[in-house]
Chains A and B, each alone.
Chain A
């Protein structure tokens, strides 16, 4: 039995993939020469630096800020912390605490023999990454043991602001049939240049992503999984000023999914683009080694642009995201490329356009774990109409063979979901998926008619945008507002001051080891 399919113009597909790769390769000239504050903090975290100082500042921030003040961050935090460890015989956490109380200046510690420092650093990095791989094996074992859920996976969010309350909502949701629980972050956490510490119970429109919160939710979901004899996935969000740090925490705490987009932060949170490009690479290396599936954010483009007019920007961005992910050694099955059901419900045959767009994504990325987002922008206070829209969305998904179904909430236009909203959403999805389970295997799309033509039209428009982007470069294309109709400049946005050109002696054993383990060759 084969699933619903359409024929895409093969030359366009090949050309589009090739062009996306060229676009991304070009950005790597910049990426490879730079590091950032959060990358250096990530290295420290992998070295075991955690906790906060007396003023509640996370110690990785304290150490990185110290190195910045001394003007030596461009050699990398690993060198300085390792040098101090070798000199004193103490561990990185103890050193960081000493920096936190101003009891130690890392730059005045006598230089130890380089080979000793490197050996210490490499051993520490290796241990940290072994822990990542061991967590990955544990997760894989659990998934195989418990058995996977049927696709499309039912994905719901919890967002109470209080991690303990999130847990009870997550329990209820998974007992109702949810396959994936995402803990949405507190409003604007992405703009914080640090990751909050410890369990948290206060948030706006979401719950802070902290390592402890990850652990609490992971443990709860694993308990439920055992009770229910099926695996429950956990999702969080990496976009923002701390992409690699969040990825690092996810890698140690065993998250399954991470929202991780190469451009979302730039476009929707006004994070500086250089910062984002450098950060996304390091974070994706971590994610690749962890076996975490990324979710990309193309769906958001359709909230600021028209879903029919600018459908091609979604496709072009998916191709760019895919190319970036490949550069980080990710396998296709771990790419949750995003798209959405966001066409104005008043449009005649809107559903056919939706099917065309959904099939285009499916056909263009046959091995990806596609993430399909529900109607949001045209949801209104009329929750009844909204519920009907979500029904069509669910039908489109099961019919076209999508993988991750972000369940639409009937109260989308009003508030983050009530418990009952989530319940009704799961009810809807269960009903539709069950009723139309093999519909896509029974029906065919007419050759050369509306749906197939429309998909090819979007593909060809996407190719035109990619060609243009290849010519001007990705950074300029973003400035020209080709993605999401939002313009960002190379020097604008938040976080540029945290981007540093690597010095001659730059040293990052975590980066080196990640690239080595993932089999990535870096041209210098």
Chain B
């Protein structure tokens, strides 16, 4: 470990977590072991944490949750490090524009309003996230796509069958499709999104469509993996989505 001017050097090739001193490798953990509270449970927790890579650890609480379950809070110290200079982050590159800018941009580069279809598909009944992006009101003071002059929005709501989405895409000659998936238990969102992508392809509408997914467990990586163009996660605001659609579609128009 290098020290310069009394300051501890943070080595990007050997980065570790920070508790209250550089490179102390401190991590806070909480978990349950399905064994009864007692000396054995405590020892088991220690070994378990050791196996996770924490050489030094302290069990700061062990509590009896009854029925043979025990709760632990553990502070562990790890020697493991990562080399962040080798990490490649998957990021979508586009400039986020204001609503006025985006409208003007679409007007200039594409010259017609873009048609957008949005839905939460299959068994998922959550609408708040999709509405946050599409509805006039928007999210966190950032107006939704309906408020843009250059977007024509068809919000189909929730519990929409994939078949109906595809029908709507055809009927409206949509430029972009916005799909929300909030329920992810047992990977139901993967099933749903895979089904939709298969249908889009079978029906021959995938190629000309900008296919976007969103939800708290959705990432760009996951979107690409499932054959979509992009994915937006928690905290997304409409202007990001609007800017992305405008920039990407204008590039496609230019290429064509």
Q: Which residues of A contact B (CB under 8 A)?
A: 161, 168, 171-172, 175-176, 187-188, 191, 204-205, 268-270, 303-304, 377, 380-381, 413, 415-416, 418-420, 423
Contact with A along B215-236 (1 / 0, CB 8 A): 0100000000000000000100
A304-B127 in contact (CB<8A): yes
Known: A187-B183, A204-B185, A304-B127. 20 other contacts (CB 8 A): A161-B186, A171-B66, A175-B66, A176-B65, A187-B123, A187-B185, A187-B188, A188-B125, A204-B183, A205-B183, A205-B186, A270-B158, A303-B128, A304-B128, A380-B234, A381-B234, A415-B185, A419-B65, A420-B65, A423-B65
Counting chain A CB atoms within 10 Å of each CB, which of B128, B186, B234 scores highest? B186
- Chain B residue with the shortest CB-CB distance to A171: B67
Is B31 part of the contact surface with A, judged by Cβ < 8 Å?
yes
Enumerate B32-72 residues with CB–CB distance to A below 8 Å. 32, 63, 65-67, 69, 71
Cβ of B67: which chain A residues have Cβ within 8 Å of it? Answer: 168, 171-172, 175
Cβ of B66: which chain A residues have Cβ within 8 Å of it? Answer: 171-172, 175-176
Separation of A304 and B157 alpha carbons in the complex (Å): 13
Counting chain A CB atoms within 10 Å of each CB, which of B31, B66, B158 scores highest? B66
Query: Distance in Å from the Cβ of A311 to the closest Cβ of chain B?
Result: 18
Is B79 part of the contact surface with A, judged by Cβ < 8 Å?
no
Q: Which residues of B contact A (CB under 8 A)?
A: 30-32, 63, 65-67, 69, 71, 123-125, 127-128, 131, 157-159, 183, 185-186, 188, 216, 234
Separation of A175 and B66 alpha carbons in the complex (Å): 6
Cβ of A413: which chain B residues have Cβ within 8 Å of it? Answer: 216
Cβ of A172: which chain B residues have Cβ within 8 Å of it? Answer: 65-67, 69
Cβ of A268: which chain B residues have Cβ within 8 Å of it? Answer: 125
B125-A269 in contact (CB<8A): yes
Query: Distance in Å from the Cβ of A138 to the closest Cβ of chain B?
Result: 26
Cβ of B30: which chain A residues have Cβ within 8 Å of it? Answer: 420
A188-B128 in contact (CB<8A): no
Separation of A101 and B30 alpha carbons in the complex (Å): 55
Cβ of B31: which chain A residues have Cβ within 8 Å of it? Answer: 420
B185-A423 in contact (CB<8A): no
A188-B159 in contact (CB<8A): yes
Separation of A269 and B157 alpha carbons in the complex (Å): 11
Q: List 17 A-B contacts (CB under 8 A).
A: A161-B186, A171-B66, A175-B66, A187-B124, A187-B185, A188-B123, A191-B159, A204-B188, A205-B186, A270-B125, A270-B157, A270-B158, A418-B32, A419-B69, A420-B32, A423-B63, A423-B71
Which DSSP category, helix, strand, loop or mixed, fits chain B's interface?
loop
- Chain B residue with the shortest CB-CB distance to A494: B159
Separation of A380 and B30 alpha carbons in the complex (Å): 18
Counting chain A CB atoms within 10 Å of each CB, which of B65, B66, B159 scores highest? B65
Query: Distance in Å from the Cβ of A270 to the closest Cβ of chain B?
Result: 6
Cβ of B183: which chain A residues have Cβ within 8 Å of it? Answer: 187, 204-205
Separation of A418 and B32 alpha carbons in the complex (Å): 9
A270-B32 in contact (CB<8A): no
Separation of A270 and B32 alpha carbons in the complex (Å): 39
Cβ of A161: which chain B residues have Cβ within 8 Å of it? Answer: 186
Separation of A419 and B123 alpha carbons in the complex (Å): 26
Cβ of B188: which chain A residues have Cβ within 8 Å of it? Answer: 187, 204
- Chain A residue with the shortest CB-CB distance to B186: A204
Counting chain A CB atoms within 10 Å of each CB, which of B31, B71, B124 scores highest? B71
Separation of A268 and B69 alpha carbons in the complex (Å): 36
Query: Distance in Å from the Cβ of B25 to the closest Cβ of chain A?
Result: 21
- Chain A residue with the shortest CB-CB distance to B63: A423
Separation of A304 and B127 alpha carbons in the complex (Å): 8
- Chain A residue with the shortest CB-CB distance to B65: A423
Separation of A76 and B216 alpha carbons in the complex (Å): 47
Q: Which 9 A-B pairs have the closest CB atoms?
A: A175-B66, A188-B123, A172-B67, A205-B185, A420-B32, A423-B65, A420-B71, A171-B67, A172-B66
Query: Distance in Å from the Cβ of A34 to the closest Cβ of chain B?
Result: 25
B128-A377 in contact (CB<8A): yes
B128-A416 in contact (CB<8A): no
Separation of A420 and B32 alpha carbons in the complex (Å): 7
Cβ of B159: which chain A residues have Cβ within 8 Å of it? Answer: 188, 191, 269-270
Counting chain A CB atoms within 10 Å of each CB, which of B67, B125, B127, B128 scores highest? B67
Cβ of A415: which chain B residues have Cβ within 8 Å of it? Answer: 185
Separation of A377 and B30 alpha carbons in the complex (Å): 24
